[in-house]
Structure 1
Amino acid sequence: MQSTVNYLWHTDDLLGQGATASVYKARNKKSGELVAVKVFNTASYLRPREVQVREFEVLRKLNHQNIVKLFAVEETGVSRQKVLVMEYCSGGSLLSVLESPENAFGLPEDEFLVVLRCVVAGMNHLRENSIVHRDIKPGNIMRLMGEEGQSIYKLTDFGAARELDDDEKFVSVYGTEEYLHPDMYERAVLRKPQQKTFGVTVDLWSIGVTLYHAATGSLPFVPFGGPRRNKEMMYRITTEKPAGAIAGTQKRENGPLEWSYTLPITCRLSTGLQSQLVPILANILEVEQAKCWGFDQFFAETSDILQRVVVHVFSLSQAALHRVYIHAHNTIAIFLEAVYEQTSVAPQNQEYLFEGHICFLEPSLSAQHIAHTTASSPLTLFSMASETPKGLAFRDPAQDIPKFFPKVDLQADYSTAKSVLGAGYQALWLAGALLAGQELMLRGLYWFVETLQATCRRTLEVTRMTLLFLSSSLGTERFSSVAGMPEMQELKRITELRSKLRALAEALSRCSHNITETQTSLSNLSSELMKNRDQVHADRSIQQVQCCLDKMNLIYKQFKKSRMRPGLGYNEEQIHKLDKVNFGHLAKRLLQVFQEKCVQRYQTSLVTHGKWMREVHDTRNHLRMVSCSVAAFNTEAQGAQESLSKILDQLSHQLLQDRTKEAQVSATPTAPHPSPALMDLVL
């Protein structure tokens, strides 16, 4: 045990160790509160006095929720070593989070945004106080769990930090190889003499490497053999990187350099976030300090991302879920354009459903009027243009699974098990995404079919009302010809109009029959969709993958313990060999479930979805034609009926006048022959 006046700790509770100090988990002697103590070793006192006290002075100057708090500076009892008493972060470091097999291919999007927000806020506080950190890396970003279970990341280890204004330079070299700016790498790692000076933008390079690492689970610049083994090539990659590239790798010895301008397909970040993030990475991973962004632009661009809201959109035509990042004050027109950029569906062809209801988006309104969405409850986008659904693009996790060496090698076996387990967790994440995609396809299509059925009901109601009106009109005749009298011109017109109305009634009857058949077809499709949704809900492939992972995790943890030992006894070695065999069988079983029960079902559902989408498009177009025909027939029938009524009204008026005249003539005694009536009124 070691202690100061107010704190004590056990040397076994080591949290981290560096060249000049070690960090332990400690407790307050009075309250029992957990803290972290940084104990400086004898090597630290070989540094100049101003360097020794610099970390204390920097930490005392800072006060921010995203920077580890300094509680006190004390000394050990006997050796009188300086001790920094700091805030204890129980979640470990960002590096430990990324080293976990669950995050082998990068953080989930929501967690990455938390990291981005915390790092940007912490760095902004440093720049406000004119502090340059000079050792930004995942290992120096600590994780604390908030009261509501949320992650809070904090910058720590200010041993290399110092005060430095934007226009000032420094010449001393600090930092960690993989995250060092190339100019600093040249002097610190390659030991090449050079007279370069460095500014605050060296922190931006380190932030860029850290963010890439957090987004992908790997470093952006990797020579063959790794950064620590091939240092000259590492330097060459970082200095020869073309503008706009965010990563460079060498896949074989003396092989060519391959540049990447996008994040890898295994990255879990959405296309919407990647499109915002990649330009930032490209401009801070710039070796020429004159071309590299300054902190002002970095803060402006990252704040722009963090101030945006996410609208989840599931494209039925593409069978793909999108996350659209927009500002709340943007108009819906800007949102529609953002959707177009991700889906290639033009704004005029975009139609939306939300929770089964048609969602009308008025372009001139604020985006705040858009409903709150989630990944499981997105806006459903239906495109007027038919296309083949592509679905989720992904890399088969089997391609990232290495094989165990036949002989027992504790370190190699641990590394292999870690890589295999990481690929297994990627398969689990993909299995969830594929199953969720099937649910969104079926649910969205079901909702759209429901809207088509509602259209059928409305059109059928209009058709039947028009038919009822026509049947009542055609069921009676107001006039008939008197025998022996020549037909009047109006009577011919009446006959033509009545024939036209009968033809329209027949056409509307055919439309009614057509709509009824369409309703039956849509009802059958709805039943199929519900049946398939029940099958998706009954799917247990994710649970099977998780079961394999749980068993693999137990073996992995044992390998993790064993790697720290110098060797194994005979019996332990035999158990280790059996564990390797079982681990391999479990991995094989996991991949089999993923391929046969996740991927194949998803691909089958994509084909079926494409077929159903074509049917729905055809039905929709057909319904539109029928609806237009019904509307046209209805208008035409109303016009014909109005013309018929007008003629009949004129004849009625004429008949009334004739009868009146006839009555007047018959009342005169000198009239020997009364005029016969031309027509009889029939009720």
Structure 2
Amino acid sequence: MTTSPESSGGVTQSHKPACPTAEMGRWPASWEQEMQSTVNYLWHTDDLLGQGATASVYKARNKKSGELVAVKVFNTASYLRPREVQVREFEVLRKLNHQNIIKLFAVEETGGSRQKVLVMEYCSSGSLLSVLESPENAFGLPEDEFLVVLRCVVAGMNHLRENGIVHRDIKPGNIMRLVGEEGQSIYKLTDFGAARELDDDEKFVSVYGTEEYLHPDMYERAVLHKPQQKAFGVAVDLWSIGVTLYHAATGSLPFVPFGGPRRNKEIMYRITTEKPAGAIAGTQRLENGPLEWSYTLPITCQLSMGLQSQLVPILANILEVEQAKCWGFDQFFAETSDILQRVVVHVFSLPQAVVHHVYIHAHNTIAIFLEAVYKQTNVAPQHQEYLFEGHLCVLEPSVSAQHIAHTTASSPLTLFSMVSETPKGLAFRDPALDIPKFVPKVDLQSDYNTAKGVLGAGYQALRLAQALLTGQELMLRGLHWFVNVAGVPEIQELKRAAELRSKLRTLAEVLSRCSHNITETKMTLSNLSSELMKNRDQVHADRSIQQIQCCLDKMYLIYKQFKKSRMRPGLGYNEEQIHKLDKVNFSHLAKRLLQVFQEERVQKYQASLVTHGKRMRVVHETRNHLRLVGCSVAACNTEAQGAQESLSKILDWLSHQLLQDRTKGAQASPPTTAPYPSPALKDLVLHMQELCKEMKVLASDLQDNNRVIEGLSRVPSAPDI
């Protein structure tokens, strides 16, 4: 049983720097007494990577090749355990071979004390815990990095289960990180000191693990020391995985009593055992206060709602205290694999002014994608219209989702809704609410913790500022595209339709309505397009992100000094004065950072959101006008076709009458009186023929304009009137 998240047998980073000369393979004479070795490996005791109850882990080198490795050296306490327990870790590691599990290279002994030494793969980037303890990740990992952690942990655990191994001490400190050749993170499970072979239907009674990540049944016996006869199965690893994934997603533990898990163990046990079904976190904010439950991840989490909707049900079902109700590994692997096999489509919703991550399978149809968008945006599939990189993107529901364009966060599909609504914008928590205050006295540990908290809130402000600026740019860019794709240059075609009204008096009034406000519409859209371009230039010229980053850089230097100072027993007078000045400067920088965030980013973003809403209403009104014009032109076309048919019938009848007159005149003697004056009839026929030709031209023009209007209605289409 370990006593803190950092103090397991797993490999965690030490604050002590390695000796520079040791890095080059040479050690000062004064260090010789601190050196330890086996037949093939050499290390210095200052190169401590991690320490647990039964062993310590050091960075070591191969004596011949100089290759860096990690050596796990077992202490005297470890030899008090039964021999079968002592050799269990060796046997487990020899059985495993997977890219997401630390590799075992050799088992050797030290020269003098003949202590057992495990020679293992060295991970230079520390553990997942050290990643989460970085101020930059105070509110959890970015979505891409979290998915890497999920993929690696699931793959590593799947290999354990295939080999019938239960780990029994899963936590961020036992998940090591290294950087691959292409710069990608690779996470590996380590510290198999508590691991043992166990099939799905087997149980065990011994207790291992770390308090915060321990299954409540094991916590009750190991931490509260209450007698109970429960046996434990492989599901205990699932609970630890759930706590670990929550920690990675949010930067915090899911179950936190007032004063912390280590100070209030009884309440910690209550939170985990009284948790309602579906809840994934529990907190006690006040001393002796009520327990508060959460069924969602906090708003400060960096994961998209699309990923959260997939992840939260998994957390709810593996953070289940009753082992009978908890998922088994088969279902856990099935559900997590389902997430990892999905592709993400980035969608920027113009009605909401928010970027969404839509997770779908490549084999899904676009109809399923449209429904997924509906769940996140509340825009019904029949009202969804898309642009991509300034072009109309027609999504046929029956087609495979593989045909959707490749998107990124900066190059998403742009969603337009046929239903007008007021944009709500990005929801976020003000970072100022999460900034702690320095205590007046010099307290090196407290000052370090405070600086870390302030810096974490500063990084959160930077991320939010970048998201707000990106959202502002996508608002302007998307609406600018829409205005241009909606056909401003084709407005001249509508003028042609209006000019045709004089060719047929019976359609003059209808065609007059078609031309109503055309000039005004063109001017409105043209002005809006120019205004959008001007605003985009202003957004590009914004310097708030650089100002926030500058403050963060200066704060980080002070934070590093505080981190270094906390390891010292005390400060001299001059150093203490400098420390006090650093605290003042740190607070001023934090205040300046928040001022820039609020005044330069939040206020400008909120103002742009209001303007965006007004512009969206203008575009909706313009679309309605275009649809009305389209309906009117279609009606004109129908009437023109009817008039043309009527004229043709009249012309046929007149031609027949004229032919009959000529026939009668040829057969009879010259009449004294003709029933119809032939010259007048000929003139009428000629006039009707000219009118018929004019009607054909008019009908053709109306059909052309009808096609133009139909095109305008489709790019994008307007709501039904």
Q: TM-score range by the shorter chain?
A: over 0.9
Is 1:183 equivalent to 2:217 in the alignment? yes
Give the letter aligned to residue 37 of structure 1.
Answer: V
1:361 pairs with 385, 395, 399, which one? Answer: 395
Residue 23 of structure 1 is matched in structure 2 by: 57
Describe the superposition over 1:277-333 as per-residue Cα deviations: whole angstroms up to 9, x where unpaired.
Answer: 111111111111111111111111111111111111111111111111111111111
Question: TM-score, normalised to structure 2's length?
Answer: 0.88
Partner of 2:608: 605
Q: How does 1:145-544 map to 2 (within 5 A)?
A: 145-453=179-487, 457=490, 460-461=492-493, 464=496, 467=499, 474=503, 501-505=504-508, 507-512=510-515, 514-544=517-547
Q: Which runs of 5+ in 1 are unaligned?
A: 475-500
Give distance in 2, aligned partners of 1:293 and 1:506.
Answer: 71
Q: Per the alignment, do residues 43 and 627 of structure 1 end up closer, same or farther by CA in structure 2, a change over 3 Å counting?
A: same
Q: Which residue type is aligned with residue 616 of structure 1?
A: V
Percent identity between the two aligned chains:
87
Specify the SS of the correspondent of 1:25: strand
The correspondence of residues 501-650 of structure 1 with structure 2, limited to 5 A, is 501-505=504-508, 507-512=510-515, 514-650=517-653
Q: In the alignment, what sits opposite 1:490?
A: none
- Structure 1 residues 642 and 462: CA distance shift in structure 2, 3 A: farther
Q: Alignment partner for residue 42 of structure 1, among 58, 61, 76? A: 76
Tell me if the contact between 2:165 and 2:196 (Cα under 8 Å) persists in the aligned partners. yes
Question: Quick one: structure 1 residues 46 and 664, their matched pair in 2 at CA, closer, same or farther if it must change by over 3 Å?
Answer: same
Structure 2 residue 677 is matched with structure 1 residue 677: yes
Q: Which amino acid aligns with 1:677?
A: P
* Residue of structure 1 equivalent to 2:168: 134
Residue 74 to residue 508, structure 1, CA distance change in 2 (3 Å): same
Q: Residue deviations 1:508-542, cap 9 Å, x none?
A: 25523532321121111101111111111111111
Describe the superposition over 1:361-385 as per-residue Cα deviations: whole angstroms up to 9, x where unpaired: 1111111111111111111111111
Following superposition, the deviation at residue 659 of structure 1 comes to 3.6
Deviates more, 1:199-208 or 1:356-365: 356-365
Contact 1:135 1:176 in 2 (8 A): yes
Q: How many residues align?
A: 649
Mapped contact 1:120–1:299 kept (Cα < 8 A): yes
| Alignment gaps of 5+ in structure 2 | 1-34, 687-721
Q: CA RMSD in A?
A: 1.7
Which residue pairs with 1:492 in the alignment?
Answer: none
Letter in 1 for 2:350: L
Q: Which amino acid aligns with 1:155?
A: L
Cα shift at 1:650 = 2.6
Q: Offset of 1:227 from its aligned partner?
A: 0.4
Is residue 463–residue 508 contact of structure 1 (8 Å, CA) maintained in 2?
no
Once structures 1 and 2 are overlaid, which stretch shifts more, 437-446 or 74-83?
74-83
Is contact 1:248–1:260 with CA below 8 Å preserved after alignment?
Answer: yes
- Counting only pairs closer than 5 Å after superposition, residues 7-18 of structure 1 correspond to structure 2 as 7-18=41-52
Q: Which moved more, 1:110-119 or 1:631-640?
A: 631-640
Letter in structure 2 aligned against 1:600: Q
Instruction: Give me the whole-angstrom Cα distance separating, in 2, the residues matched to 1:283 and 1:172.
Output: 24
Aligned-partner residue type, residue 464 of structure 1? R
Q: What's the counterpart of residue 151 of structure 2? A: 117
Report the Cα offset of residue 35 of structure 1.
Answer: 0.9
> 1:483 corresponds to which residue?
none
Preserved CA contact (<8 Å) 1:662 1:674 = no
1:40, distance to aligned residue in structure 2 (A) = 1.2
SS in 2 for 1:556: helix
Deviations 1:248-305 (A, max 9, x none): 0100110000011111110111111111111111111111111111111111111111
Task: Tell me, in whole angstroms, the C-alpha distance in 2 between the residues paired with 1:208 and 1:676.
Answer: 100
Displacement of 1:462 after TM fit? 6.3
Quick one: distance in 1 between partners of 2:586 and 2:679?
A: 103
Q: Deviations over 1:41-85 (max 9, x none)?
A: 112111111111111100000000000000111111222211111
SS at match of 2:414: strand
The farther-off stretch of 176-185 and 632-641 is: 632-641
**Hey, what's the Cα distance between the residues in 1 that align with 2:247 and 2:108?**
36
Aligned equivalents of 2:671, 2:227: Cα separation in 1: 140
Is 2:498–2:514's contact at 8 Å kept on the other side of the alignment? no
1:561 CA drift (Å): 0.4
Counterparts of 2:354 and 2:168 in 1: how far apart (Å)? 42
Deviation at 1:466, TM superposition (A): 8.1
Deviation, 1:356, is: 1.4
C-alpha distance in structure 1 between counterparts of 2:254 and 2:480, whole Å: 44
Q: 1:199-258 deviations in whole A, cap 9, x for unaligned?
A: 111000000000000000000000000001111111111111111111001001100000
Note closer, same or farther for the CA distance 1:656–1:150 as it changes in structure 2 (3 Å cut).
same
Deviation digits for residues 327-354 of structure 1, max 9, x if unmatched?
1111111111111111111111111111
SS in 1 for 2:416: strand
| 3-state SS in 2 of match to 1:266 | coil
Deviation at 1:651, TM superposition (A): 1.6
CA contact (8 A) 1:402 1:416 kept: yes
Q: Cα offset for 1:678?
A: 4.1
Contact 1:316 1:381 in 2 (8 A): yes
Q: Which amino acid aligns with 1:228?
A: R
The alpha-carbon distance between structure 1 residues 549 and 672, as it changes in their structure 2 partners (threshold 3 A), is: closer
User: Do 1:439 and 1:533's aligned partners in 2 also have CA atoms closer than 8 Å?
Assistant: yes
Between the aligned partners of 2:80 and 2:422, the Cα distance in structure 1 is: 69
- Secondary structure of 1:268's aligned partner: coil
- Counterpart contact for 2:279–2:295, Cα < 8 Å: yes
Conservation of the 8 A alpha-carbon contact between 2:105 and 2:119: yes
Superposition deviation, residue 661 in structure 1: 3.2
CA distance in 2, matches of 1:362, 1:676: 63
CA distance in 2, matches of 1:624, 1:569: 79
| 2:177 maps to which of 138, 143, 152 | 143
Q: Contact 1:54/1:159 (CA < 8 Å) preserved in 2?
A: yes
CA distance in 1, matches of 2:310, 2:497: 55
Taking a change above 3 Å as real, the CA distance of residues 572 and 634 of structure 1, as seen in their structure-2 partners, is: same
More moved, 408-417 vs 349-358: 349-358
Note the C-alpha offset of 1:676: 7.1
Specify the alignment match of 1:479 in structure 2.
Answer: none
Which moved further from structure 2: 502-511 or 379-388?
Answer: 502-511
**C-alpha separation between the residues in 1 aligned to 2:79 and 2:663?**
131
Native 8 Å contact 1:453 1:519 kept in 2: no
